[in-house]
Each structure stands twice: as structure tokens, then as C-alpha cells.
Amino acid sequence: MALAAYASHPAASRGRRYPEPPAPTRDAFQRDRDRIVHSTAFRRLVYKTQVFLNHEGDLFRTRMTHSLEVAQLGRSIARALALNEDLVEAVALAHDLGHTPFGHAGQDALNDCMADHGGFEHNLQSLRVVDELEHRYPQYDGLNLSFETREGILKHCSRANAQRLEQREPGGVGRRFLDRMQPGLEAQLCNLADEIAYNAHDIDDGVRSGLIGIEQLADVELFDRFRREAVAEYPALDGRRLLYETIRRMLSAQVYDVIDATRAAIDAGAPAHADAVRAAAPMVCFSPSMREQSQALKRFLFANLYRHPRVAQTTGQAQDVVRALFLAYRDNPSEMPPAYACQQDRHRAVADYIAGMTDRFAMREHLRLTGRPWVE
């Protein structure tokens, strides 16, 4: 299908930091997507925690399966709005590359450790991975992705970090945070697809883990409406099939809602091209009522899953591991591989090394360096 005028057109890309001749059979964003899929950081996502620790069960989401689900939802919505599906896929597959082991617990601990050294923020780290930390190509560090893909990866950024980025790359991906502008529609879409994906799969994983029950979800309108609808149509439906059918209907409803609400916003703003989108208010959105229902689901998950005592217990342990690793490498950089040990900015090198770890590698290193095993 032809791209809309307001979509990101690969031929109009603002290009790569190191200019390269075009590929013969792929456009710029397809090539970005392929580079991401072949990266080391992407493969590590298989063994990184989303909410439940990787070793707790084979069926829980990992950062990898989460990223694939974000790409699927994003592409579906992009297709309906004539946005660039390949760019959406590239951003979705890369959006969590900078996540530490052990999910948000790991990120919070690393951020604490780095408090006096510039902090640690996973969005900025995702950009750092694709800009600097992947070492695959002879001519440059990083994956040398297109501006639009990098713009989408840098979802949030503090003003201080945006200023630092702007110094290194004037008019680059940090600029919009200083000018308070929006990214292109594909980037806006990945943001919302991320939220739709984790709200839905955290229900599934939460129920699978036994930490939340389907009865508790009766209080959540977005869930209960579709559970009742499914039961009305299939009265004998229960157990996992009822859960899946409810989540399936929930996902569809949110996808159609985003398509309708965004189409209305695009019609109202009538952006003539992608740069007009950047100068306007955000356009990819839920309807007000779906926004409210999605927030209510999020509040439910916070109260009943993310802050569940069993999750909190592993969270505490994960933070201890990250802190212990940080101190061990900081005090003995030679415990890290030479590429990290030789860096001038020791704290940043330690943060980069730890952030790149999978859950199980971090546990192994913790055991090696402290003699303390992970206790279930």
C-alpha cells in the first residue's frame, strides 16, 4: 500500500551519521530493521526479564517476545494508517535494547549506582547500544541507523541528557526534547503499541504465575467487558481459553480505537508531511474513554502485580546483584573484558557492561565475584 504523505518516507530520510551508499534491494528503514535483528544486543533480549525473571518459567514474556509483540501491534496499526511499517518494526525491535538484566529493578539499581556519574536511563542506553556499543562493522562503532529509527528509539530523554546529545550531534535526536517537538508518527505509534502490549501480556503472565486471579480482574472495566462478551458468546468457555479470548478481544478493541482516534487527529491536523507532524501536538492516541480504561488497567497491574510481595522479593535481590556487580567492577575493572576495562570513563564502562548482561550471566558473574549464589 502507498505511504501517506504524513508517513516517514525512506527516500526523504535525514540519513545516517556516517553516509553509506543505498542497499540494492532494501530501503533505509528495512536495512535498519535487518541490522537490529542481527545485532548482539537483540539476541540478548531472549534472556532478559520483562516482569518475571527469565528462569521462573519458560512461557513468561521476555524482552524479546515483548519486542516482537510490540512490532506486531505496531505494524497492524501502521498498515491501517498508511504509515511506514518497516520503520515501526525497526523501532519496536530496538526499543528495549538498552534494558538492564532483571527488568526495572535492574535499571533502578544501576541508576542509583550512577547517580553521581550522569545516571542511567534505559531509553538513552538503547540509543547508546545502536550508536556506540555494537561493534560489528569495519567503518564505525554502532549500527549506523537512520535518523528516524534513532529518533524513535529515544522515546524519553531528560533535558540534561538532551543537551549532551545536542552538543555531540547538533540538530540531532536530542533536539526535539529541547524544542518540545514530537517525533514522527511511527515513533509515536511504537510508544502506544508498547503500552498496549505490556498491559495485555502482563495480565496473561500475571494469571499464569498465580499472582493475580481472573476474579480480581472483574474490577478492571477494559478486561471485564470483554470477558463478559466472550462468555455470552461461548457460555462453556473457561480457564486459559477464556483468558486468551478476553485478551484477544481487548487487544483488538485497543488497536481499532487507536486507528480511529489517530485517524481523526490526523484529519484534524492535516499534516502535509512528516516534519509537519513533528511541529504539531501528538497525534497517535487512544480515544479519551479508552485512555481512561487503559490507565485503570495500569493502576490495577501496579497495585496487584508489579508491587506483589513475591515480585518485590525478587526485585530486592536483583537490585542487590546489580549493586554488588557495580562495586566489584568499579574497584577491579580488570574483572571486565578488555574493551570495557580500558575505557577512560570507568563508571560509564561498568554501567555499559552490566546493562548488556542477560539475567543469567549477571547471576553467574555475581556468584563468581562475591561467592554468593542467587537464592530462590
- Return the number of the residue (198 or 374) whose C-beta is nearest Mg ion: 198
CA distance 363 to 105: 14
Smallest distance from Mg ion to CB 70, Å? 6
Q: How far is the CB of 67 from Mg ion (least distance, A)?
A: 7
Per the document, the length of the chain is: 376
135 secondary structure, DSSP code:
-
Choose between 105 and 328: whose C-beta lies nearer to Mg ion. Answer: 105
Instruction: Report the C-alpha gap between 103 and 109 in whole angstroms.
Output: 10
Task: Using the minimum distance from each CB to Mg ion, give the nearer residue, 96 or 352.
Answer: 96
Q: 16 phi and psi, to 5 degrees?
A: -105, 160
Q: Which residue is nearest to Mg ion (CB)?
A: 194
Query: How near is the Cβ of 234 to Mg ion at its closest, in Å?
Result: 32
Q: Enumerate binding residues for Mg ion (CB under 5 A).
A: 96, 194
Residue whose C-alpha cell is 537512520: 146
Q: Between 153 and 350, whose beta carbon lies closer to Mg ion?
A: 153
Q: 82: alpha, beta or left, given left = phi > 0 and alpha = psi -120 to 50?
A: left
Q: How far is the CB of 251 from Mg ion (least distance, A)?
A: 16
Question: Considering beta carbons, is residue 96 or 148 the nearer one to Mg ion?
Answer: 96
Q: Which three cell numbers stand for residue 224?
A: 471485564
The CB-of-158 to Mg ion minimum distance in angstroms stands at 19
CB of 242 to Mg ion, least distance (A): 27
Closer residue to Mg ion in complex, CB, 74/271: 74
The string of DSSP letters for 205-270 reads HHHHHTSS-TTGGGG-HHHHHHHHHHHHH-TT--HHHHHHHHHHHHHHHHHHHHHHHHHHHHHHH-
